[in-house]
A and B are shown apart, each in its own frame.
Chain A
Amino acid sequence: MPVYFLRRVLAAIPVMLVVAVFVFLLLRLTPGDPAAVLAGDMATPEQLEQIRASLGLNDPLYVQFLRWMGDLLRGDFGTSLISNQPVLDLVADRMWPTIWIALITITLSVIVAVPMGVVAAWKHRSWIDHLVMTFSVLGFSIPVFVIGYLLIKLFALDLGLLPVQGYVAPSEDLPGFAARAVLPALTLASIYIALIARMTRASLLDVLGEDYVRTARAKGLAERRVLFRHALRNAAVPVMTVIGTGFALLISGVVVTESVYNIPGLGRLTVDSIFARDYPVIQALILLTSGIYVLVNLAIDLSYSFLDPRIRY
């Protein structure tokens, strides 16, 4: 296992390098000029040229790339072209709101969706199954911003139970943090509950038809033990994959939800940076996202061996 882990981590290095080259080139080949964003609408062509020169944007591409890679190797992600703040600080500030919301969302989703999926599979073709599937279809189909606005209307504006928007760190104000996290987590969870419940149901239905389940039942095991000990554990591998990739998706940015609830997370930072052509920030964010995907995939793969002892690395 440690060798496998090390091999996978080392294998991530060329992946990240390819991502870095690709992102760097893609950004430079896309129309857009950070100097124009920085200077504003009234800047003259001459002033734009001066700013471009001072930002190093007139240097040949390979010079810019080598400079960036050199800085990266020293752990320096550069400085935002627009706000002149260290990129690492910008990303770190915006990472925690996203991580907290993602953790709450995925926890809530698993707690609600897995039992829903199990019950739906167990009571296959019953009214419970139909109810779960209806919820699943709705969760997929209703855009998150609609769910978001409806929840705000009901719980914040009409009932006055929760704030409309915003984020405070849990260390500053835990009740305030919790109050502001409820609605965005519920909004995002609506999709993930639908997804995980559906996947759990489908996987479990496959497994429930297997011989070893019939044998377990024939041995007289309680239905709960059959479902959770024998069936669910074997059905968990694809569910775990969905949960893991869902978590990575949540971390890499949920722009619409962050906008609707005014959460200063990575999604908004990504969109703002792209619109502003803030190259160092975009590059750092995409590298971070790639790294998260690599790590999450590794974690998912490692979890397989715990869930299914037949899988060995």
Chain B
Amino acid sequence: MTAIWSGLRSGLAAATALTMTTVLPAFAETTITAVMHSGLRVLDPVITTAHITRDNAFMIFDTLVALDEDFVVQPQMASFEVSEDGLSYTFTLRDGLKWHDGGEVTPADCIASMKRWMQRDGGGQMIEARMESLEATGDNSFELTLTEPFPYTLEAMAKPSGLALFMMPERLASTPANEPIPEMIGSGPFKFVQDEFQPGVKVVYEKNEDYVPAEGPQSWFAGAKDVKVDRVEWVTMPDAQTSLNALMNGEIDFLEQVPVDLLPLLEGMPGLQNQVLAPLGYVTIGRMNFLHPPFDDPKIRQAAKLALSQEDVLTALIGNPDYFKVCGAIFGCDTPFEFSDGSESLTSGGDIEAAKALLEEAGYDGTPVVLMQPTDVVTLTAQPIVAAQALREAGFTVDMQPMDWQTLVTRRASQADPADGGWNLFFTNWIVPEVSNPLANIMLPGRGDDAWFGWPTDETMNGLLDDFASAAELEDQKAAAQQIQARVMENVNYIHLGQYFNPSAWSDSLTGITEAPFPVFWGVEKEG
């Protein structure tokens, strides 16, 4: 109601404001105005895996440990020691850590944050399943003790996406994991300005003057998070052309995603530059429903995989080959677990004839493939169209059903028969760090009803994931990852359709922008 009156007053106050012009002292505040990939609406980073919520959380909250650009776990809020038997992890908080409300960061805060995260995150649940104790061992240290070695522990705690592990004051971390935290108090490099937050419209951050950066060079989410501006404002713009116009007109400083087809507009524009800041980019995938015909038959899943070509899909999706990569590795190219076993047909244009032969051998009876096509997400509209055509050429009957994305995410949770409100196939995208580790890749577990949508039951895969989880050495992990890659291609747990990249663009007035899986604003300076 206050907002109604303030709005009503605004018109009247305007005239007064004009006549009461006062001379204000010069104040050289630097503000970066950025347009991110979507509007921020959900604030709690434990409730949702939405990328914009994660990005917002990295501004406000800090993490105990962090992943650097070499995929190595580094200390962030805490240094860590692992016992020789791999059962005990001791974390020691660095000096000077404070919450935005002035309170000191304590082990109790970190323990509460970890426990809340463990209720929601897959990696956290794996740790919790092996956890013997998690308790403070001093004023600035605490210890996690496991019942069996779990080498993935630190990586799960450091992973930047999915549900990243953020530290919150105990009073916030005590909120049930399925209810949103009531305020945004972190210990990170920026403070959230609650009064200026407009969901879906604008988010404002102020520099946290009390922040003590970690030591070491900045690398992804590790190292020093030096804030070099006073404010950062994220403004939501629903129209891509408008955000590009705003950048060209100097009204914003940074644009996270420039549609590739609009990039030519930036060519030759003085004062602007563009670059792919997330060199790992995204993967696009197709997921089948294992519960219903025709994809309950592994041969028919194989036939569908044979029909598809990464290049066809990526060309329709992105167009410019500079911004996509045909890549057979389900864990992403240029990652530690890059293997391409079994992906030959996908990366060499598909094999329609082989698909036809396999379909005949499997005795496909023409059962329609209900393919859900989202019409309101630009990065997901092309895949179903290309796939439908390829599947039809291979002999499938395809029933492509257009719908908005929210209808799709609701419907994909249905295990009903495809003819009765269920489904057979949909497509989605992930950032590469979300799939680059077998234990973080949510599409892999074959736990039937407890698996991700599509509900595969795959004991072979579960065994391989256990092998990976228990492998202490990188070489052993690689061996397990390679087997997982081959199993995905053999059993078609999902269809890996390659990698693509989104260029970002920004004004020359910004310096210090670095590569990372998603934009970070520490280390960035603004002239003028």
Q: Tell me the A residues contacting B by CB distance below 8 Å.
A: 31-33, 36-48, 50-51, 53-54, 80, 82-85, 88-90, 92-96, 99-100, 149, 152, 156-157, 160, 163-166, 169-172, 174, 177, 259-262, 264, 268-269, 272, 275-277
Contact = CB atoms under 8 A, between A and B. Distances in A.
Contacts of B200: 83, 264, 268-269, 272
Given A36-B409, A50-B178, 15 more contacts: A36-B413, A38-B48, A41-B430, A42-B49, A42-B442, A45-B413, A83-B199, A88-B1, A96-B10, A166-B235, A171-B10, A260-B242, A264-B198, A264-B200, A277-B406
A164 B406 contact: no
A171 B17 contact: yes
A169 B10 contact: yes
Given A152-B245, A163-B249, A264-B201, A41 B238 contact: no
B188 interface: no
Contacts of A269: 200
A37 B41 CA distance: 10
Interface of B: 1-4, 6-7, 9-11, 13-15, 17-18, 39, 41-43, 47-50, 53, 120, 122, 162-163, 176, 178-180, 198-202, 235-239, 241-243, 245-246, 248-249, 251, 376, 403-407, 409-411, 413, 428, 430, 434, 442, 449-450, 452-453
B405 A84 contact: no
A222 to B, nearest CB: 38
B1 A39 contact: no
Contacts, number: 167
Contacts of A31: 403, 407, 410-411
A276 B406 contact: yes
Given A82-B42, A92-B3, A41 B11 contact: no
A64 B138 CA distance: 49
A80 B410 contact: no
A33 B163 contact: no
11 contacts: A38-B47, A38-B48, A44-B450, A44-B452, A53-B178, A95-B4, A100-B11, A156-B245, A164-B251, A165-B242, A269-B200
A277 B199 CA distance: 15
A177 B248 CA distance: 21
Contacts of A160: 249
A96 B5 CA distance: 10
A90 B1 CA distance: 10
A171 B450 contact: no
B239 A259 contact: yes
A119 B202 CA distance: 46
A85 B120 CA distance: 23
B71 to A, nearest CB: 20
A174 B162 CA distance: 44
A169 B100 CA distance: 29
B199 A261 contact: no
Residue of B11, B180, B236, B411 with most chain A CB atoms under a 10 A cut-off: B11
Contact of B179 (A33, A48, A54): A54
A41 B49 contact: yes
Given A41-B428, A42-B162, A152-B245, A32 B376 contact: no
Given A83-B200, A165-B246, A261-B242, A275 B442 contact: no
Contacts of A54: 176, 178-179
A66 B411 CA distance: 27
B518 to A, nearest CB: 14
Given A42-B162, A83-B200, A264-B201, A171 B242 contact: no
Contacts of B7: 92, 95-96, 99, 169
A274 to B, nearest CB: 9
A262 B238 contact: yes
B41 A276 contact: yes
A262 B234 CA distance: 13
A272 B40 CA distance: 11
Contacts of A51: 47, 178
A46 B178 CA distance: 11
Given A40-B50, A54-B178, A262 B237 contact: yes
Given A41-B409, A96-B10, A262-B238, A157 B180 contact: no
Contacts of B409: 33, 36-37, 41
